[in-house]
Structure 1
C-alpha cells in the first residue's frame, strides 16, 4: 500500500497539468463559440477535451487507496473539528475516485452497459460533499487564526483613544443609544465589520497556504454545482474556475510549503 501511494504521488503533477489543459479547452471552446468560430474548430477542441478527460481518469486509477490512507492519518488528529472534516472529506474523495474509476471503465468500453450519467452524477455528489467539508475546515482555521490575532492585538481598535475626553458624570451608565442618539448603533456595527474585515485580510495575507486552499476550494465548488444542476454557471465560468484551481494545485506541488497542513 505504501509503495503504491508513493508511486501515485509522483503522477499528481501530471494529472493536475492535464486537468489545467482540460478546463482550458472548456474555456477556449466557450470563448470561440461566443466569437462565432467554425464548427470544425469547436468539434476538435471538444474532442481534445474529451480525450484529456479520459487520460485524467486513467491516471486517477487507484487514487482511492491514497485517499483512504490520508483518512487513516487524519483520524489521529487532536482537534476534533479538523479530525472530523479532514477524515470525512478524504472518505468522500475515496468514493469519488471509485465512482470515477467505474465511469472510466464505462467510457472505454470495459463496461459497455454502464449508466454513465448515473455514475457521473454519483461521483460529483461525493466530490461536492468533499469540497463542502474542505471549506468548513478552511472556515474553522480562519476563525481560530482571527481569534488568535485578535487576542494578540488585532482588536485594539475597540478601546477608546487615550486623548479622548473623559465621560461626564453618569454618562458611562447610559447605553450607547442614549449617549449617541441617531445612527450611532449603525456606525458601531459598520466599524465592527470593518475591524473584522481588516482582521480577516491580515490573517489570510499572513497565511498563504490557507488562502490558496480557500480560493481553490471555492473555485472547485462551482464545478459539481453546475454538473448537478444545483447552480448553473455555464461552461465558460466552469472552465475559468477549473483552470484557476488547477494552477493553484500545481503551485502547491511545485512549492510544498504552500500546501495546507495537516
Structure 2
C-alpha cells in the first residue's frame, strides 16, 4: 500500500505540477483556467435556470478574479522594464516598436487594474463613476496591449518564415555548415511554434477586453471558453 502511495505522490507528473504551482506564473495560470471555466459554467447553469448552482460558480469566479489582481500587483514594473529592454535592442523596427507598445499597454492595464483591486477590497473607495472609468481604462490598455501583440506576432512570423526559407535554399558543401544550418532551422522551428501559440492566445484573449469596452458583444459563455 505504501509503495503504491509513494508511486502516486512521488510521480514525476506530481513533482512537475508542484514545481510549476510553486511559482506565481504557474498559480496564475491555474487560477485563470478555473476562473474562466467558472465564468462559462455560471453562464451555462444560469441559462438553464439553475440559479443556486450558477451563483456558487459565479462567486468562485469573482474571488479568483480578485486573487489574480492581488498576485499581479508588482507586474506593471516588470512590463515597464521589458519595454525599456526592448527599446535597447538592435532589432527589426516594426517588431521593436510593437514590442514596446505591447509592454506599455500591459503596464497601463495592470496599473489601472491595481486601482480596481484596491477599490474592490475597500482599501480606498472610489465614486462609482470614477471606478467605472478606471475599469474602462484598464480594459482599453489591455485591448491595446493585445492588439500590438497580435501585430508583433504577424511581423515576427513573417520574418522567421523568410529566415527559414533562406536557410532551406542555402547550398553548403561543408558538413559542418550543413549541421549548423540544421541546428538553426531547429531553433527557428521552436521559435515559430511559440510565436504561433502566442498569436492564437492573443486572438482569443482580445475578445475579453473588447467586450468590456463595448467594441464586441459576446456573452459570458463564449468569453469563458476563450479565456
TM-score band w.r.t. shorter chain: 0.7 to 0.9
The separation in 1 between residues aligned to 2:75 and 2:126, in whole angstroms, is 24
The separation in 1 between residues aligned to 2:57 and 2:189, in whole angstroms, is 38
Per-residue deviation, 1:59 = 0.7
**Residue of 20, 26, 29 corresponding to 2:33:** 20
TM-score (norm 2): 0.75
TM-score (norm 1): 0.65
The separation in 2 between residues aligned to 1:14 and 1:41, in whole angstroms, is 25
Aligned CA RMSD, in angstroms, stands at 2.1
Counterpart of 1:236 in structure 2 is: 221
Counterpart of 1:223 in structure 2 is: 208
User: 1:204·1:210 contact (CA, 8 Å) conserved in 2?
Assistant: no
The separation in 2 between residues aligned to 1:219 and 1:146, in whole angstroms, is 23
Per-residue deviation, 1:111 = 1.8
Q: Does 1:73 align with 2:85?
A: yes
Render the CA deviation track for 1:193-231: whole Å, top value 9, x for unaligned.
xxxxxxxxxx98983211111111111111111111101
User: 2:45·2:51 contact (CA, 8 Å) conserved in 1?
Assistant: no
Unaligned runs of 5+ in 2: 1-21, 170-187
Per-residue deviation, 1:69 = 1.3
The separation in 2 between residues aligned to 1:71 and 1:153, in whole angstroms, is 33
Runs of 4+, deviation exceeding 4 Å: 149-154, 203-206
The separation in 2 between residues aligned to 1:60 and 1:29, in whole angstroms, is 25
Counterpart of 1:211 in structure 2 is: 196
- Computing the radius of gyration from Cα coordinates, the structure with the larger value is 1
Per-residue deviation, 1:74 = 1.0
Q: Which has the higher helix share?
A: 2
Render the CA deviation track for 1:33-57: whole Å, top value 9, x for unaligned.
23x2421111111111111111111
The separation in 2 between residues aligned to 1:67 and 1:11, in whole angstroms, is 15
Counterpart of 1:245 in structure 2 is: none
Aligned length: 185
Per-residue deviation, 1:18 = 1.0
